[in-house]
């Protein structure tokens, strides 16, 4: 961050910007503003240079990311060859499940241009949640709904292209 990036006539604080971001993610959007402020406060911003890994496959980094600017590629390494899955662009929230429990990455995320992410660590998230146990069900609901509507969309748009993978459908049944 250099001074020219920050100097505006009446700049809004990073906290306010983080708050705006969190309000737009499915994971946090249902939470009361007071709680959301705490999460916005606990988030940090990280810059990743082009070709740097944001997270790597098999790692258990325990962090969730929101891409504020830049672009990253989701990859999966199978038998020594890395296959690109898709691009993750500005505005995408990745890793809500890692906040809820230990999840080893099944993919790698690599910055394809200089990328700035908002990062929340599971440890901080958990400690904050201990203070607001009453809202945990809202987060579970949001996650469950998201998984369900993902599969619903997938079945509506892509099921016919699935071929042999069809038998493995049903992530929303877990």
Q: State which of residues 23, 30, 42, 100 lies at the interface with other proteins (CB under 8 A).
A: 42
Contact 63, 122 (CB under 8 A): yes
Instruction: Return left, alpha or beta for 172; rule: phi > 0 is left, psi -120 to 50 is alpha, else beta.
Output: alpha
Residue 100 Cβ vs other proteins, minimum distance, rounded to whole Å: 15
Residue selected from 59, 87, 113, 152 as contacting other proteins according to rule CB under 8 A = 59
When binding is defined by CB under 8 A, the residue of 14, 75, 92, 151 that contacts other proteins is 14
Task: Provide the 10 A C-beta neighbour count for residue 113.
Answer: 13
78 binds other proteins (CB under 8 A): no
User: Distance (Å, rounded) from C-alpha 24 to C-alpha 81?
Assistant: 35
**Least distance in angstroms from the C-beta of 40 to other proteins:** 8
Distances (CA, A) of 120 to 32, 65, 104, 146: 18, 7, 16, 19
**Residues engaged in binding other proteins (CB under 8 A):** 1, 3, 6-15, 18, 37-38, 41-42, 44, 46-49, 52-53, 58-61, 102, 123-124, 127-128, 131
């Amino acid at each position: 961050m250099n001074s020219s990036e920050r100097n505006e006539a009446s700049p809004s604080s990073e906290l306010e910007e983080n708050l705006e971001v969190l309000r737009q993610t499915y994971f946090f959007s249902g939470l009361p503003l007071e709680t959301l402020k705490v999460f916005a406060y606990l988030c940090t911003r990280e810059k990743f240079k082009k070709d740097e890994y944001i997270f790597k496959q098999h790692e258990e980094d325990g962090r969730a990311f929101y891409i504020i600017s830049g672009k990253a590629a989701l990859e999966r390494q199978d038998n020594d060859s890395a296959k690109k899955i898709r691009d993750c662009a500005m505005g995408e929230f990745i890793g809500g499940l890692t906040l809820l429990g230990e999840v080893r990455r099944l993919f790698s995320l690599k910055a394809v241009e200089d990328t700035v992410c908002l990062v929340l660590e599971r440890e901080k998230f958990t400690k904050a949640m201990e203070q607001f146990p009453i809202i945990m069900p809202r987060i579970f609901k949001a996650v469950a709904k998201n998984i369900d509507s993902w599969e619903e969309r997938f079945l509506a748009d892509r099921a016919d292209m699935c071929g042999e993978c069809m038998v493995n459908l049903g992530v929303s049944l877990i």
